Amino acid sequence: MCDYSLMHVKSRPASVGDKLRTSNFGTGTRGFAAPSDPGTAVCVLPGTELAFNSEITVYGASAPTRYKTAIFRQINRDQPHMHHDALELPDGQTLLLTFLCEGQEATVLQLPASTIGNRPDLTAPSTALESIRISSKLVWISACHEFAGSSAIFV
């Protein structure tokens, strides 16, 4: 899926094996694009598994995360004018995609599984996060080692 702020940007669905890059589309959000077509947003389904070329880096963080893999999620779906696209890290932490530093490259490893006539709800947070109201867990972190003066939100 693509975040609501990308609805006026040319887009296409992600496929297994796609090479993606975090990109700024000039709409107030960042998302994924193919390096060969930076003007087209690549929309990722919730539950899609991604592998990054290096540790995932977020604006405002003092260091990259220690993870290179993540599962794409959508959060805060009941709040229409908030960013929904997020990455769930192996430790259960969820990061809004729009706060990832630009230029990070990832590969689509696997699309979400579906069953005939019964598709699981992949927009829901993982079991580790079910007891946490995600929208109330915003934390500001400043002093990014790469982007001095910027801020990031971790969910």
Q: What pLDDT score does 3 carry? A: 66
CA–CA dist 1, 73 (Å, integer): 9
Q: State percent of the chain over pLDDT 70.
A: 70
CA–CA dist 113, 87 (Å, integer): 18
The pTM of this model reads: 0.71
Give 78 or 4, the one with higher predicted confidence.
78
Q: What pLDDT score does 151 carry? A: 42
pLDDT-based confidence at residue 87 (cuts at 50, 70, 90): very high
Each residue's pLDDT tens digit, 22-72? 999 888 788 999 999 999 999 999 999 999 999 999 988 888 899 999 999
Q: State percent of the chain over pLDDT 90.
A: 48
Cβ 54 vs Cβ 61: under 8 Å: no
Question: Amino acid identity, residue 111?
Answer: L
Q: What pLDDT score does 4 carry? A: 65
Cβ 65 vs Cβ 51: under 8 Å: no
CA–CA dist 42, 128 (Å, integer): 28
Q: What pLDDT score does 61 carry? A: 83
Closest among 77, 76, 85, 72 to 111, alpha carbons compared: 72
